[in-house]
Amino acid sequence: MPLTTVDSPVNVLDNRTYFQRRVVEDTARVGYYIFTFEGGAANTIKSRVGVSFISTEQACGYRDDEIPSWSLNDTVDAAVKEWNEDVFSKIRVDTDEKTSNLTNVRLLYSSLYFMHLMPSDRTGDNPLWQSDEPYWDDFYTMWDIFRCTVSLYHLIQPARYVSMIRALIDIWRFEGFLPDGRSGNYNGLTQGGSNADNVLADAYVKGLGRDTDDPSMTINWTAGYQAMVKDAEVQPYNTFSPLDQTGSVKEGRGSLYDWIPLGYVSNNSSRSVSKTVEYALNDYALSVVAAGEGTQADVDKYLNRSAGWQNLWNNDIVHAGFTGFLAPKDDQGKWVSPKTYNPAVCGGCEWDSISYEATPFEYSFVVPHDVQTLIESMGGVIEFERRLDYIFMPNTAEQDLEENGAGITTIMNIGNEPDFATPYLYNYLNKQHKSVNQTRALANQFFHDELYGVPGNSDAGALNSWLIWQMLGLYPIVTQPVYLLESPWFTDINMTINVNKTLRITSNGDNISLGQSGYFVESVKINGEDWDRNWFNHEDIMIEGGTIEFTVGNIGQAWETGVLPPSPGTKM
């Protein structure tokens, strides 16, 4: 409930509660106040507003704590100070207009701003249950932010990230399921899998909330794993949403009735192709947490289930000169319309389509836990690279995604989250220079320092965090303690990570911050050591900090000679 204070005498004309334009006695309904102010129209009226779901007294407390002054300038100064200290200072780059590209600087800090707007920390203002645990709301949604946003939280906001994960586990404890989306103190909507599982697993494999003496930084991973198992094993109640009548879109995995017995989601469910891909990654997430919190039988079960995407791989589908794609099946194991099936279209990629916000052609690349099996499924390294090249070619898109793909004519659609990691797959061929080329081209074409500066909806900062990783010259692989090396946009980046450690990323390119020089990697050093791989592990540098030194030039060519990035999934 809101509590408003104004600096002028007021007359209250109406403060009743209304529902559907009628006065009601139910105080839980939405109400409003109608005021008149003394002093005439020429007066400037100031107000301070506090909001609480608990009480007017608590709203008063928030108002007085957060807006103590009647001066707008004081309030602005306090907000600027807090944003600078808590957010913008976490990543520091050269801001001198003589030596740095200020457009890129604004893009970086604007992106940091947007990725910190959601979710909301409402600890102490939970109207639903009493708990000593943190409380967070406005997850919009895990489906968007699990891919690379939360990995950035882990590095630059570890305390808040611990608080967030503890809140997710507490929601499961009191409401029965981890949320995929949550707003207004209510779970929903779930676009595909139970993707809070991926968030928890990503934190777990990097050691967050483990082996610490600080109670505020400790996560109850026993409870966290139990919450994940609930997602993996218990069919949620079907809310029969108008968006999807075939299974719950509120929480959990609405199509477990297929996934558990069949190993895939059949066309009895909407979004069957994308759900199958997401459930596979969800179960891989279970397997990595089970390695520390469960049994070996759990590890084996969920690792085997994570290969379920292969059950929808049809080696007989040929499209655009490529063989083998994800395709829908019925619950008897028969392919649906194999002679007319086109993996480059999806029927709108909406709630009632075969895949969500991306075509099966795109989802055929979205298996981050088992890229090597994916490469084999596409016909080997040469065919995989040829297909990867193809999806970046203009005028290859066959599905119009309207606002979710405005101006994008390639199959690869950076405006939608499923494709976030796809441009980086060249690293798995030891051709990192092609990852750099494609991602830099995408960023330059579709991300701008202006209105509508991202290709679609920011999605709680998901697109903005993709750009931040691009600017850092790194990319995280979700549910694995692995980062891919790319190419930084600034000559000198200093990050505060793991509370008080420093990660320094440098590039020796002439005027690279001004965008006047090449950005293709020629060599890398990590903590002074020559690095022959295009990736590194979290423990290599992200715990204690250190240095990553890039030597760059104008020619894109393979520089890496070491082992490929891990592919820890399993082949059926």
Which one is predicted more confidently, 15 or 210? Answer: 210
Q: Model confidence over 141-160: pLDDT tens digits?
A: 999 999 999 999 999 999 99
The Cα 429–Cα 205 span in angstroms is 25
Strand, coil or helix: 285: helix
Q: Which helix (H) or strand (E) holds 505?
A: strand 501-507
pTM: 0.95
Among all chains, which residue has been given the structure tokens 């108002």? 63
Contacts of 73 (CB under 8 A, 6+ apart): none
Q: Are 379 and 372 in contact (CB under 8 A)?
A: no
Q: Are 178 and 194 in contact (CB under 8 A)?
A: yes
pLDDT, position 28: 56
pLDDT digits (tens, 9 = 90+) for 507-544: 987 667 776 678 999 999 999 999 999 999 999 999 99
Give the Cα separation of 180 and 192 in Å (integer). 9
The CA radius of gyration of the chain, in Å to the nearest whole number, is: 25
Q: What digits encode the pLDDT tens for the residues 250-271?
A: 999 999 999 999 999 999 999 9
- For the stretch 319-334, pLDDT in tens is 999 999 999 999 999 9
171-188: per-residue pLDDT in tens? 999 999 999 999 999 999
The β-bridge partners of 224 are none
The answer to whether position 533 is within a domain reads: no
SS3 content of the chain, % helix, strand, coil (to 5): 35, 15, 45
Phi, psi of 18 (to 5 degrees): -120, 150
Question: Which domain does 8 fall in, by range?
Answer: 2-86
Beta carbons within 10 angstroms of residue 12's beta carbon: 9
Give the span between the Cα atoms of 468 and 58, in whole angstroms: 37
Look at residue 12 in the predicted model and tell me its pLDDT: 60
Q: Report yes or no on 139 lying in a domain.
A: no
Whole-Å CA distances, 82 to 66, 128, 300: 11, 29, 46
- Say if residues 535 and 484 touch (Cβ distance below 8 Å): yes
Q: How far is CA 41 from the centre of its chain?
A: 47
| Residue 72 domain flag | yes
How many domains is the chain built from? 1
The β-bridge partners of 552 are 521
**Residue 304, domain member (yes or no):** no
DSSP assigned state of 139: B
> In this structure, are strands 91-93 and 120-121 parallel, antiparallel, or unpaired?
unpaired
Q: Tell whether the model's pLDDT for residue 31 goes beyond 60.
A: no
The answer to whether residue 109 sits within a structural domain is no
> Tokens 């579709």, residue?
446
Q: What is the DSSP string of 80-137?
A: HHHHHHHTGGGEEE---TTTS-HHHHHHHHHHHHHHTSSSEE-TT--SS---SS--EE
Q: Where are the beta strands (DSSP E) in 327-366?
A: none
DSSP H or E run through 387? helix 381-390
Q: Which one-letter amino acid corresponds to residue 212?
A: T
> Strand order in 520-526's β-sheet?
91-93, 492-497, 501-507, 546-553, 520-526, 529-531
Query: What's the rounded mean pLDDT across residues 100-121?
Result: 97
- For the segment 195-205, the average pLDDT, to the nearest whole number, is 99
In a domain, 71, yes or no: yes
Structure tokens at 500: 């008080």
Max CA-CA distance within the chain?
Answer: 79
Which amino acid, one-letter code, is at 398? E
Question: What confidence score (pLDDT) does residue 56 get?
Answer: 87
Residue range 40-63: average pLDDT? 85
Task: Please say whether the beta carbons of 498 and 207 come within 8 A.
Answer: no
Residue 246 scores a pLDDT above 60: yes
Residue 420 resides in a domain: no
Least confident of 21-25, 60-64, 175-179, 374-378: 21-25
Average pLDDT for residues 224-240, to the nearest whole number?
98
Q: How does pLDDT run across 543-563, given as a tens digit for each residue?
A: 999 999 999 999 999 999 999
- With respect to residue 511, please indicate whether it lies within any of the assigned structural domains: no
What angle (nearest 5°) sits at the alpha carbon of residue 135, between those of residues 130 and 140? 140
Question: What string of H, E and C letters represents the secondary structure of 153-194?
Answer: HHHHCHHHHHHHHHHHHHHHHHHCCCCCCEECCEECCCCCCC
Task: Tell me the angle at which helices 296-305 and 272-293 cross, rounded to the nearest 10 degrees.
Answer: 160
pLDDT at 32: 59
Check pLDDT > 60 for residue 19: no
- The DSSP string of 363-377 is HTT--TT-HHHHHHH
Q: Which amino acid is at 114?
A: F
CA distance 518 to 496: 27
List beta partners, residue 18: 23
Half-sphere exposure (CA, 13 Å, Cβ side) for 86? 12
Percent of the chain with pLDDT over 70: 91
- Residue given tokens 């994800």 in the structure block: 326
